[in-house]
Structure 1
Amino acid sequence: MSRLTLPLAALAGLLIGGLAVYLFTTSRHGAPLGERARMEAVVRDYVLSHPELIPEAMQRLQDKQTGSAVALNRKAIQTPFGNAWAGNPRGDVTVVEYFDYNCGYCRASLPLVRQLIASDPNVKVVFREWPILAQSSVDAARLSLAAAEQGKFEAFHDALYNAGPVSPETMRAAAAKAGVDPAGVARLGDRADKEIALNRQVARDLGLNGTPSWVIGDKVVSSMLPLDKLQQLVAEARTK
């Protein structure tokens, strides 16, 4: 945001807020219509003279709505299933990744997440299963949840991503490499499907539109992010 835009936005907010109060007050006390019309014209002319304020105002509104959605769902967002997390368990900032094992961008984000954790000892990363690309994504998510319940999420997560395209063969190989008992999926019963359904519902509430998606503080981003952008969002969340 430029130094010019901030004062303009502040002034526009004051004008619009002042107009709302003024109109409410005058509507109750019967102020002349001419005064109300003049005030409306002032605000209208100002906004038309500075149209750049409109997308900025819309973005602020969207950020506010997203922040409210995050606050309402924070427990479901930040509480990991089993040990599906990495980094500092008491970190002051929690980075949440919604991912799909069939997502190439999620696979490419794996080393970036490791670098983020290595560069910041006060970050906790939570991984949320969001299988949206194929039925094999759902099968992999269920096995991944079993791995998380057995305390072997990270080993399985890395092994499956490194195994190539998701298939019954690569899932079996990843489970064997991580020491995951595949029978754990059956033992989970409907808990795995309930966890996936909850993640899907929260994703809808947050307006996520693809994998990977990130929730960092009150910010939500659906995109692969470079390390410096992840670090920037962590820093912003930390200041709040």
Structure 2
Amino acid sequence: MSSETPADAPRTLTSTLLTALLALVFGFLGAAVWSYSGLADNRTRSFLLDNPDMLPQMAQAYEEQEAGKRLAQMGDAVFDPFPGVVLGNPNGKRVLVEFTDYNCPYCEASLKDVNRLVAEDPDLKVVIREWPIFEGSDVASRMALAAGLQGKYRAFHDAMFATNDVAAAAKAAGLDMARAERDAVSEAVSTEIARNLDHARALGFTGTPAWIAGKKPFGGAVGYEKLKAALTAASEAG
């Protein structure tokens, strides 16, 4: 059994991608440099050592390209929200999907970016996929989905990140607790959590937050500007 934590997984994948990209770069770029400039592989190495930021950028671009291919094969199920688990306009034509975990500090940091996007765009629909990958997150995710069934997801979602306390967030959201406790352990909620895990694995996501803007999947706390740009590009692409 692997001892790798959710935080370790992205580093492991990135390391693997960087190794593969190094091989490709030295193979193809080295050949190109030799052919067109008459230079040997040591010049290629020098170029890469002088521009090390190229490799992480290439790894990220490759990872996002592969995720996009997998998304194209999945159909539209990942865009269909669990009842009530939507931020912004439930009927909005511009769609952002977020995979999130309440014990993920990067998800908490991204909350302000998502709320800003929602405030700026009345036609934005944010589909939240509860993906409890950290220890202790399952209870919070289940209560969040139960809140969605009562039409109070946004209130619980914001309160949970603010308090990191399920009971306090449920109280702040004004949940009917008897109903919420039943719904939290229901088959529908269990199925949703399992489905979100399947979606995340299918897309190659290794941690939270992870996103889909239009038809482009990508991971990480990328910030407001990248999220905005991805949504704009998706709208322009139709």
Could you say whether these structures have the same fold, taking a TM-score greater than 0.5 normalized by the shorter chain as the test? Answer: yes
Q: Which amino acid aligns with 2:138?
A: V
Secondary structure at the aligned position of 2:125 is classed as strand
Q: Distance in 2 between matches of 1:185 and 1:159?
A: 18
Residue 146 of structure 1 corresponds to which residue in structure 2? 146
Residue 132 of structure 1 corresponds to which residue in structure 2? 133
CA pair 111-60 structure 1, distance change in 2 beyond 3 A: closer
Contact 1:99 1:129 in 2 (8 A): yes
Q: Distance in 1 between matches of 2:35 and 2:84?
A: 54
Structure 1: gaps spanning 5 or more residues: 1-43, 165-169
Residue 234 of structure 1 corresponds to which residue in structure 2? 231
Please state how far the C-alpha of 1:64 moved relative to its aligned partner.
Answer: 5.0
Please state how far the C-alpha of 1:45 moved relative to its aligned partner.
Answer: 6.0
The within-5 A match list for 1:1-240 is 49=35, 63=64, 65-134=66-135, 136-164=136-164, 170-183=165-178, 184-187=180-183, 189-240=186-237
CA pair 221-163 structure 1, distance change in 2 beyond 3 A: same
Structure with bigger gyration radius: 1
Q: Describe the superposition over 1:109-159 as per-residue Cα deviations: whole angstroms up to 9, x where unpaired.
A: 11111111122232211111000011x200111111100011110001111
Equivalent pairs: percent with the same residue?
39
Contact 2:64 2:218 in 1 (8 A): no
CA pair 144-64 structure 1, distance change in 2 beyond 3 A: same
After superposition, the CA RMSD in angstroms is 2.8
User: TM-score, normalising length from structure 2?
Assistant: 0.71
CA pair 195-92 structure 1, distance change in 2 beyond 3 A: same
Secondary structure at the aligned position of 1:202 is classed as helix
CA pair 99-58 structure 1, distance change in 2 beyond 3 A: closer
Aligned residues: 191
Q: Which amino acid aligns with 2:146?
A: A
Structure 2: gaps spanning 5 or more residues: 1-29, 37-43, 48-54
